[in-house]
Structure 1
Amino acid sequence: MDVVTAGETMALFTPDQKGLMRYAHSYSRKFGGAESNMAIGLARLGHQAGWISRVGEDELGKAMLHFIRGEGVNTDRVTLDAEAPTGLYFKEFRKAGDIRVQYYRKGSAASRMSTEDIDENYIKQAKYLHISGITPALSDTCQKMLFEAIKIAKRNGVKVVFDPNLRRSLWSEEEARETLLALAAKADIILPGLAEGAFLFETEDPAELGRLFLQQGAEEVVLKAGDHGTYYFHNEGSKFVPAFSVDTVVDPVGAGDGFAAGYLSGLLDNLSPTEAIRRGNAVGALVTQAEGDVEGLPERADVESLVNENISTEDVQR
């Protein structure tokens, strides 16, 4: 296994027409969740990813499990829960550039995850453990599970990759800040966005954020700055890698998960930090070109085509 991740995936319903959702009469059903999005992204790029979770023993949960397994992700550690439902969320395309998401996840099967869902043998076979800041916000048991997973990873030499993925609506600012900083202190690689860095450290200066995250104990900090690009910080220096230009953003949700998949793919392929970030930027850009959290996740040939096209353009401009 290359990467193991743990977290909640939900059934996603999107109105079949644009505008206020109150006027919608029909919906398309998809699936989405930060961790499974990343795992599917890795699978499409030719890597082995495993996903730990709980889903309701209902039709949506079974459909989700079949879908994610069908995308090539290992689901051996996913539990069907007969006592809690699969979580839901709705994505509303009000108008161009105005996309709103509403979650219905309280009491979901995934919120009942606990240390009992963690198998040391499953985690220790991986090269990386990927975690996000969403999971510890779901419940106390989810939070304990995540810290136990990290402990197991550290014990077995598995690198911990942490994406803060801040969701303010899930918990208080005080608890969020305290928990996310505690997780950052245990991570080997941190993948924050500028807004998440500002929330945690009250500064938007990339260089200062890089310094502060490294000070927490991380070996590498990959700071995402949206359509501007990505900053890379290491104790031996820093780099900046520009983003790929996108003519029209169809759906930005899931782009950060795509970036994580692309970046980890680069590390697994032993690329340099700059090349790995460029791959992450390319995956993130391609994700925004399709509706849905995973529908735009590209295959390797698509990513390489975009990267090579961009490198060729840079050469011509020089």
Structure 2
Amino acid sequence: MDVVTIGETMTLFTPNEEGPLRHARSFSMKFGGAESNVAIGLSRLGHKSRWISRLGEDEFGDAMLAFIRGEGVDVSYVTRDSHSPTGVFFKEFRRLNDTRVYYYRKNSAASKMTADLLPEEAIRGARFLHITGITPALSESCRSTLDKAIIIAKESGTKIVFDPNIRLKLWADTSKARSFITEYASKSDIVLPGLSEAEFLFGDGSAEQLADQFHKAGVQTVIMKLGKEGSLISVPSSPKTHVNGFYVERVVDPIGAGDAFAAGVLSGLLDGLSLEEAARRGNAMGALATMVNGDAEGLPVRSDLALFMSGSADDVMR
């Protein structure tokens, strides 16, 4: 297995028109979750990925499992809960450049993941374990599940890649959020923060200064997302490298771009690329994801990614 990831995915309802959600009358049903987005992105690029989670024994859970399995992701360690529902969330495209998200995930099946439901063989032997700061925010049992996954990964030589993915709506206490996110970063080999997330954790500063704060916390490799400006690679005792982003004429849906970036970086590392080339692939994946409505719908297959990165994609394929 190339990459194993653990976390909640929810049924996503997207209104078919822009404006305040209160005026929406029709919706499209999709699925979204940081970890499954990464798993799907990797699978579309030809890598072997596994997503571990817990779903309700309901129609949403059935549909989600079929969708993610259909994307070629291994779901053999997904468990079901007959007493708790699959989580739901809504997107709101209020106006241009103003997208909002509303979660209905309290007491969801995924929030009741427990360490005893995570067998060692689910992670042992994988090249990378991908985790996010969302999972430990869901519940103490999710936190213990993630802690066990980290122990298994370290014992088996699996590298840990951590995306903070800070969701303040899930943390009742911001100081606790900082503490836990920093702790998980310190246990990881590679951290993929956004610039605003780094500022939340460490205060104001340049991207370079904030990357150094992660190193002080014990992180070896930082690849920081800078939005349309690209990304910054930082490794102790080496010059920092800025990797340019890709131009996007119109952002349709920014949600999921960070997950696409993570999938691109992991794909590059799996292919043996340098950190710079892996970050460039991540930048391209993130850009492509913003051009399509939906969390995972804009994730490309390898041939489309290559066309985009070469700049040779045409407006019309004839």
Q: Cα offset for 1:214?
A: 1.4
Question: How big is the alpha-carbon RMSD for the aligned residues of Structure 1 and Structure 2?
Answer: 0.9
Residue equivalent to 2:47: 47
> Distance in 1 between the 2:88 and 2:229 partners?
32
Residue equivalent to 1:184: 185
- CA deviation vs aligned residue, 1:45-77 (integer Å, no higher than 9, x gap): 100000110011000001000000000100011
> Distance in 1 between the 2:211 and 2:126 partners?
27
> Distance in 1 between the 2:51 and 2:107 partners?
20
Q: Cα offset for 1:97?
A: 1.4
Residue equivalent to 1:230: 231
Residue equivalent to 2:213: 212
Q: Cα offset for 1:161?
A: 0.4
Q: Cα offset for 1:100?
A: 1.0
The answer on 1:121 being equivalent to 2:127 is no
- How many residues align structurally? 310
Alignment check: 8 A CA contact 1:194 1:204 kept: no
Extract unaligned runs of 5+ from structure 2.
313-318
Alignment check: 8 A CA contact 1:37 1:294 kept: yes
- CA deviation vs aligned residue, 1:130-182 (integer Å, no higher than 9, x gap): 00000000000001111111011000000000000000111110110110011
TM-score under structure 1 length normalisation: 0.96
The answer on 1:279 being equivalent to 2:281 is yes
Q: Cα offset for 1:80?
A: 1.1
Matched letter for residue 246 of structure 2: F
Residue equivalent to 1:32: 32
Q: Secondary structure in 2 aligned to 1:227?
A: helix
Q: Cα offset for 1:203?
A: 2.4
Matched letter for residue 303 of structure 1: L
> Distance in 2 between the 1:177 and 1:117 partners?
27
Alignment check: 8 A CA contact 1:53 1:117 kept: no
Alignment check: 8 A CA contact 1:12 1:90 kept: yes
> Distance in 2 between the 1:178 and 1:259 partners?
25
The answer on 1:253 being equivalent to 2:248 is no
TM-score under structure 2 length normalisation: 0.96
Alignment check: 8 A CA contact 1:52 1:117 kept: no
> Distance in 2 between the 1:232 and 1:96 partners?
31
Q: Secondary structure in 1 aligned to 2:53?
A: strand
Residue equivalent to 1:244: 246
Range 182-191 or range 215-224, more displaced: 215-224
Residue equivalent to 2:20: 20
Equivalent residue runs for 1:131-142 within 5 Å: 131-142=131-142
Range 109-118 or range 28-37, more displaced: 109-118
Q: Cα offset for 1:209?
A: 1.2
Q: Cα offset for 1:236?
A: 3.6
Matched letter for residue 243 of structure 2: V
Q: Cα offset for 1:117?
A: 2.4
Matched letter for residue 65 of structure 2: L
Alignment check: 8 A CA contact 1:14 1:92 kept: yes
